[in-house]
Copies of this chain bind each other. A is one copy, B any other.
Amino acid sequence: MTWWGWGAPGHDAALPEHALRFLAAEVGLAEQARGPVDLAAVRLRESALPAGVLQRLLAICGADGARTDREARVWHAAGKSYPDLVRQRTGDCAVAPDVVALPRGDEQVRAVLECCAAAELAVVPFGGGTSVVGGVEPLRGRFRAVVTLDLGRLDRVLEVDPKALVVGVEPGLRLPALEVALAGHGLTLGHFPQSYEFATVGGCAATRSAGQASTGYGRFEELVRGVRLAAPAGELDARAVPATAAGPDLRALVVGSEGTLGVITGLSLSVRPRPPLTRHEGFVLPDFGSGVEALRALAQERAGPDVVRLSDEQETRASLALAGEGGWLRRVGFAYVRARGRAAGALLICGWEGEENEAIGRRARSVAVLRRHDALSLGQAAGAAWVRTRFHGPYLRDALLARGVLVDTLETATSWSRLEALYDAVGVALRGALDRRGTPPLVLCHVSHVYESGASLYFTFLARQEEGAELEQWRAAKCAASEAIMANGGTITHHHAVGTDHLPWMEAEVGSLGLDLIRAAKQTLDPVGVMNPGKLLP
């Protein structure tokens, strides 16, 4: 991954002409494309690592197991949030870690934690580095230096149990590598977040990830059967049993702890047989509201697809424009849709996966529900096009930043009863905040996960960047949206986690006694407080 953006170095992220024209008309573009600064020009502090620590880390992790070089420090200086990208592109790496440790195996992880707790050094666990909420920002807290603990070398599949459909894995294993290993056994994890190409299983557990097919396969936390945590105070082993009534579920304390309690060193995950049938299909609903009602019926009648993604009218319109005249949506059905008076409808992508009879039967029930809600099918080509581009979103950000466009996403969830009010309030908040700064935004939204009791809302907002005040501009929009979320019964995050960006709303989210409970767990597992300071807990 590049240190300043998304994807492998050298990939092409240029936007086509028609997309640039659309964005120029909607939000405005910078006249000149601006690239990131060179690695050599990035501003770094001297490593503040106390004498002797580097030697101790090398003794623990081996001769190549601790790095203080520019490349390693810059690469681990940030995740992939909008503020991260703005800072990295301009070469501001003041927060870079003082050293990057690269342990192999959980004994080395425990030894690194002991070393850091003894030397009073902050520790930032780092998986794929894909956090979009500041989760891997190497903050020092009250400590004199910070060690980023890169889990990339804990990347083994330890056990495959095809009888129980459970696998044992190390935390630094990337999702695609796990899928490759599972394919050899005819299995799949079925977890496909937009960060799929780079995300690690440990990161998914630490942040309560949800993937594009989690409506069907379950959120990552539902896939975690057992989890092992190395903490400064010792090892916690929440072992894998299918179900238990033996007191509170301690797995739920580790999952979502975002590296603040310790380092996840092992996971037992539920897997499934690879689906013999996978079918993705597009539909157009008369409008977003009727689409939401259709999704509610699908979820509550248990007739639902494994993948659902319902765009509002604005996102549907933007998808059409960005796809261009030759784009898939125009090609497959737009003329037909327009002919039926649905030019301003809401696009829905559905995916069914499973054993043939089961999936075909479920699709038939889904389609019956959708027809009841006046959906028009766009066929499988629209679904296939979505599958082809399902991980492309993060790449576009680099191209947009290069042309001076603010782009960020935020997400929430609430009950079906409050969904419409929450949708309206967040849209009003984002438009209000950015209008007030003279940069009227384009606000897009889709529902990506449905539950019996409610659904998620995923917002994308774009605006012309305020040059020189990029972070203030972003913060104004982020704060306005977050306040609207909390005032309307939403959760501050449905699957992006808390990190640094959602800290101000954690007390509203869980209450002061809730925060005290997390702090008590931290005091027990990490009495010196070295683990990932400045994240999760205000």
* A positions within 8 Å CB-CB of B: 161, 163-166, 207-210, 219, 221, 225, 231, 233-238, 240-258, 270, 272-273, 296, 300-303, 354-355, 357-358, 361, 365, 413-417, 449, 451-456, 489-498, 502, 506, 509-514, 516-521, 523-525, 536
Do residues B453 and A502 form an inter-chain contact, with CB atoms below 8 A? no
Expressed in whole angstroms, the Cα–Cα distance for A269 and B293 within the complex equals 21
Contacts of A272 in B (CB 8 A): 300, 452
Cβ-defined contact, A517 with B253, below 8 A: yes
**Chain B residues positioned under 8 Å from A417 (CB to CB):** 161, 163-164
**Does B453 contact A494, Cβ atoms closer than 8 Å?**
no
Do residues B513 and A243 form an inter-chain contact, with CB atoms below 8 A? no
13 A-B pairs within 8 Å (CB atoms) are namely A161-B417, A164-B453, A208-B249, A234-B513, A236-B514, A237-B511, A242-B453, A243-B413, A246-B497, A247-B258, A250-B510, A513-B524, A521-B521
Complex CA distance for A253 and B515, rounded to whole angstroms = 13
Choose among B249, B301, B302, B509 the residue that contacts A255 (Cβ–Cβ < 8 A): B249
> What 6 pairs across the A-B complex have the smallest Cβ distances?
A252-B252, A242-B454, A208-B245, A164-B415, A242-B451, A244-B491
Q: A272-B452, A453-B242, A525-B517 are in contact. Are A247 and B257 (CB under 8 A)?
A: yes
- Identify the closest chain B residue to A502 (Cβ): B246
Q: How far is the CA of A494 from the CA of B244 in the complex (A)?
A: 4
Closest to A245 in B: B208
Contact of A357 among B365, B452, B495 (CB under 8 A): B365
Inter-subunit contact B242/A455 (CB<8 Å): yes
Residues of B with C-beta under 8 A to A495: 243, 245
| Residue in chain B with minimal CB distance to A301 | B355
**How far does the alpha carbon of A452 sit from the alpha carbon of B241 in the complex, in Å?**
11
Copies of this chain, count: 2
Contact of A493 among B246, B296, B519, B521 (CB under 8 A): B246
Q: Is the CB of A247 within 8 A of B510?
A: yes
Distance to closest chain B CB from A414 (angstroms):
6
B517 touches A250 (CB 8 A): yes
Interchain CA distance A258-B209 in the complex, whole Å: 29
A523 to B516, CA, bound (A): 10
Instruction: Tell me whether B237 and A414 are in contact (CB under 8 A).
Output: no
Q: Which residue of B lies closest to A512 (CB)?
A: B234
- Given A237-B511, A253-B517, the answer on whether A246 and B491 have CB atoms closer than 8 Å is yes
**In the assembly, what is the distance between CA of A246 and CA of B452, in Å?**
20
Q: Is the CB of B454 within 8 A of A241?
A: yes
**Complex interface: chain B residues within 8 A of A357 (CB):** 365
Known interface pairs A250-B517, A303-B358; A493-B245 also in contact (CB < 8 Å): yes
In the complex, the answer to whether B520 meets A415 with C-beta atoms within 8 Å is no
**Which residue of B231, B303, B354, B511 contacts A236 across the interface (Cβ within 8 Å)?**
B511
Q: Give A10 Cβ to nearest chain B Cβ, in Å.
A: 32
**16 new A-B pairs (CB below 8 Å) besides A253-B253, A517-B521?**
A163-B416, A163-B417, A165-B300, A166-B415, A208-B244, A208-B245, A209-B245, A234-B513, A241-B414, A241-B454, A242-B453, A243-B454, A248-B252, A249-B256, A270-B452, A361-B361
Bound state CA distance, A510 and B502, in angstroms?
Answer: 31
Tell me, in angstroms, the Cα distance from A452 to B189 when the chains sit together. Answer: 13
Give the shortest distance, in Å, between A186 (CB) and chain B (any CB).
12
A524 near B520 with CB under 8 A, answer yes
A417 CB to closest chain B CB (Å) equals 5
Is there contact, CB below 8 Å, between B456 and A210? Answer: no
How far is A498 from B248 in the complex, measured between Cα atoms in Å?
10
Chain B residues, Cβ within 8 Å of A354: 302
A11 to chain B, nearest CB (A): 28
Whole-angstrom distance between the Cβ of A487 and the nearest chain B Cβ: 13
Docked CA distance A43–B14 (Å): 85
- Cβ A243 vs Cβ B456 within 8 A: yes
Measured CA separation A209–B208 after assembly (Å): 25
Which of B236, B414, B521 meets A248, CB within 8 Å? B521
C-alpha gap A251/B509 in the complex (Å) = 13
Q: Do the beta carbons of A523 and B520 come within 8 Å of each other? A: yes
Q: Is the CB of B518 within 8 A of A520?
A: no
Contact partners of A492 in chain B: CB under 8 A: 244, 246
Q: Quick one: which of B210, B248, B254, B300 contacts A256, CB cutoff 8 A? A: B248
Partner of A514, one of B238, B273, B454, B510: B238
User: Is the pair B246, A498 in contact by a Cβ cutoff of 8 Å?
Assistant: yes
Closest Cβ–Cβ distance, residue A299 to chain B (whole Å)? 9
